Amino acid sequence: MKGAISSITIGLAIVVSTFILSNAYINRNSSNNSISVTGLGESDFVSDLIVWEGEFSKENLNLKQAYSDLEKDRQLILFYVKGKGIDPEQIVFSAVTTEEISKTKYSNKGQYIGEDFIGYMLSQEIQIESKEVEKVEKISREITELLNKGIQFYSNQPRYYYTKLADLKIEMISKATIDAKLRADNIAKNSEASLGELTSAKMGIFQITGQNSEEDYSWGGTLNTSSKLKTASITVKLKYRVNN
């Protein structure tokens, strides 16, 4: 008997989830005898995709030499990350950016009198997108070893994503729907009444925050990319008629 009730509840959750995911909700004739409840669905998960970026640069008075030096650094960086087991297809280098460097000149009285050209600075970015999260994490921490080779390299913090968000969202809506239904059942029971038909089902904003963080929820939805360990949550608001 309990198994049948559980199956009915899960089935209801799936039906409500389908309504919500299609951006539709039921809103029939209103009645004063109604119950509105909000259910919460939460789930912890581990990111399965990492995106890491770094930037390297070279300075020289001669533009052609600066390009040549930057290319040597690019080859050393490529050799380094490939040696760490990264598939070359996951490695992307950006276009080279060029900036003229100048030095501000001041008079003996401290007045600005112009700029002196002192060379060019060329920079380029590398990006790695991979499902081998731990491997890329390690590279992002250890690539500063290239400083010993004279490469001016700046490593950004990795960004973490999850490739199964669509499935996770459906799961969260089902959990939130079941939670809301249980709340409505308890309210009706304690009021010596019974639930009637479902008249409205609305979905809240999907939130993804870092686990054990103090991130605030956003009205537009939060999407944490700085934490590998995340928590997904969503609310569902249900409204039922009440039979006295």
Q: How many CB atoms lie within 10 A of CB 225?
A: 14
**Burial level of 26, CB count in 10 A (0-12/13-18/19+)?**
middle
Give me the mean pLDDT over the 153-165 stretch. Answer: 95
Task: Tell me the three state secondary structure of residue 129.
Answer: strand
Homologous superfamily assigned to 49-160: Protein of unknown function (DUF541), domain 2 (3.30.70.2970)
Question: Could you tell me the residue ranges of all domains in the chain?
Answer: 2-47+163-243, 49-160
Residue with tokens 């919460």, as numbered in its chain: 40
Q: Exposed, middle or buried, 174 (CB in 10 Å: 0-12/13-18/19+)? A: buried
CATH of domain 2-47+163-243: 3.30.110.170
Question: At residue 5, does pLDDT exceed 50?
Answer: no
- Residue 32: per-residue pLDDT: 62
**pLDDT tops 70 at residue 15:** no
pLDDT digits (tens, 9 = 90+) for 95-150: 999 999 998 888 788 788 888 888 999 999 999 999 999 999 999 999 888 888 88
Q: Looking at this protein, which amino acid is placed at residue 120?
A: Y
What share of the chain in percent tops pLDDT 90? 63
